[in-house]
């Protein structure tokens, strides 16, 4: 079952004059003339509600797999236990956003004038609707987010009063929670709005929050690393990424292009990762989008999730300090083995689901080959790409010895002058809002219930299996 059929598509009679169309196996509606995303959603939601209702009535009692004891102790890996429509992660193929791979997204999503990388606005439209947007639809989102980007004064004051030793992610999460003062969803719920209207206020909050996140993130960056200098004003003629890089203080066009790519590829990675699952779980309690996404960001801040890109650069920096300039393959091999024998992992390699090179790594590598082929750090990362997988296979412990997204992103950011490693996870967080909040809107539209799985004690499990 899929909200927007990614493998098979079938026609059904809509309640409004929408004509389903098909492209790349993705069910689509004829909404290209509509630029208001909320209006597009209003037409789609009744049809999707009916489809899922019908599917559950016919197959609700069907079994989809078994659960093993090891899965309960092993982080629930591989358990089919939740719905996520926005993206699907295949172990061999990597991520697909509503059925489209990253290279396909790079080909079909709208771009900025003169640019080549996809606009994150286009990806958000795709995640929410299952449709590849027109340029006009992506531009409409750019203007919407520019209009909604201002912060309330109490959030600005709070950010200005934070001590410099408070981690950027802690500041980011706190500011998002404080933005809850602006929540349409919380206000409407308190006033007794009917549950069929929840999605409308979830949508408004999500649009507001996505719009404000670059402003929050830029304010944190300027306070910590640029002596509290002004972020400047939002330009309504710029896209989301261009306004963000401008507020950060970077005017290099290729850095903005990199940010468009970065914010697109980090947006979603199906529903079971820590940040996406946290947002879904907290949202299932009908916490508003601000509180739900703030919780997700506390998960993203963990070293086994979003903080990993920072750890990659720390490890690369230590490698350079220990081995000097140009390094031979044999020196690298010894350094990698010493890392492993010291009880550490090689950061940036391996993934809980993927069993091939992460396509998010690949597209960043292609960006580097095109724009910074002679950068020493990029050359080192490329050299590691040739050596690390072989060492990990030789060690025999890694199920996936291939690089993930974190193995490359920090190198690109450093090349363009963004060298504050502690800040990198904030950039990840700005991007991850696109996926988390697209799913949040649909969770409220479909009336998904409070998530409450059954837990077991070890003693209870022993009795269950007769141990």
Instruction: Cite the active site residues.
Output: 305, 351, 406
Burial of 383 (0-12, 13-18, 19+ CB in 10 A): middle
In 3D space, the residue among 301, 296, 298 whose CA is nearest the CA of residue 284 turns out to be 296
Cα dihedral 208, 210, 214, 216 sign? positive
In 3D space, the residue among 46, 71, 106 whose CA is nearest the CA of residue 352 turns out to be 71
In 3D space, the residue among 66, 60, 83 whose CA is nearest the CA of residue 4 turns out to be 83
Helix-strand-coil percent breakdown of the chain, rounded to 5? 60, 5, 40
In 3D space, the residue among 344, 320, 345, 342 whose CA is nearest the CA of residue 331 turns out to be 320
Q: How many CB atoms lie within 10 A of CB 31?
A: 23
Strand, coil or helix: 144: helix
Strand, coil or helix: 30: coil
Yes or no: say if 132 and 122 are a contact pair by the CB < 8 Å rule: yes
The CA distance from 278 to 82, in Å, is 12
Q: How many CB atoms lie within 10 A of CB 110?
A: 22
The pair phi, psi for residue 190, each rounded to 5°, is: -65, -30
In 3D space, the residue among 246, 247, 180 whose CA is nearest the CA of residue 219 turns out to be 247
Cross-strand pairs, 118: 111
The pair phi, psi for residue 397, each rounded to 5°, is: -105, -30
The CA distance from 397 to 339, in Å, is 14
């Amino acid at each position: 079952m899929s909200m927007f059929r990614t493998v098979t598509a079938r026609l059904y009679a809509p309640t409004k004059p929408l004509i389903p169309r098909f492209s790349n196996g993705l069910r689509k509606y004829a909404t290209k003339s509509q630029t208001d995303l909320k209006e597009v959603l209003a037409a789609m939601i009744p049809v999707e509600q009916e489809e899922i209702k019908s599917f559950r009535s016919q197959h609700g009692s069907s079994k989809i797999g078994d659960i093993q004891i090891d899965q309960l102790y092993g982080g629930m890996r591989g358990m089919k236990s939740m719905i996520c429509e926005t993206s699907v992660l295949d172990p061999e193929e990597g991520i697909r956003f509503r059925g489209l791979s990253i290279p396909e997204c790079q080909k079909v999503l709208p771009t900025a004038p003169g640019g080549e990388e996809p606009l994150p606005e286009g990806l958000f439209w795709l995640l929410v609707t299952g449709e590849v947007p027109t340029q006009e639809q992506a531009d409409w989102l750019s203007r919407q987010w520019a209009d909604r980007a201002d912060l309330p004064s109490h959030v600005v004051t709070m950010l200005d009063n934070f001590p410099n030793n408070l981690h950027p992610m802690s500041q980011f999460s706190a500011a998002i929670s404080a933005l809850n003062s602006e929540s349409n969803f919380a206000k409407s719920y308190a006033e007794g709005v009917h549950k069929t209207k929840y999605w409308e206020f979830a949508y408004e909050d999500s649009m507001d929050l996505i719009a404000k996140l670059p402003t929050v993130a830029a304010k944190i960056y300027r306070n910590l690393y640029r002596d509290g200098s002004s972020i400047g004003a939002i330009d309504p003629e710029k896209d989301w990424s261009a306004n963000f890089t401008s507020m950060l203080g970077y005017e290099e066009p290729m850095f903005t292009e990199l940010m468009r790519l970065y914010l697109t590829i980090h947006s979603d990675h199906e529903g079971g990762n820590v940040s996406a699952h946290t947002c879904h779980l907290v949202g299932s309690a009908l916490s508003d989008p601000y509180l739900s996404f703030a919780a997700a960001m506390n998960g993203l801040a963990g070293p086994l999730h979003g903080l990993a890109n920072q750890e990659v650069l720390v490890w690369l920096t230590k490698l350079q300090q220990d081995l000097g300039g140009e390094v031979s393959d044999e020196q690298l091999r010894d350094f990698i083995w010493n890392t492993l024998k010291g009880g550490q992992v090689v950061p940036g390699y391996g993934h809980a689901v993927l069993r091939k090179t992460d396509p998010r790594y690949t597209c960043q590598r292609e960006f580097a080959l095109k724009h910074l082929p002679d950068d020493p750090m990029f050359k080192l990362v490329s050299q590691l790409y040739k050596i690390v997988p072989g060492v990990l296979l030789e060690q025999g412990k890694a199920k996936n010895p291939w690089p993930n997204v974190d193995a490359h992103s920090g190198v690109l950011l450093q090349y363009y002058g963004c060298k504050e490693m502690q800040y990198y996870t904030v950039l990840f967080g700005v991007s991850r809002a696109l996926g988390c909040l697209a799913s949040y809107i649909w969770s409220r539209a479909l009336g998904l219930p409070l998530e409450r799985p059954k837990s077991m004690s070890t003693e209870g499990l022993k009795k269950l299996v007769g141990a």
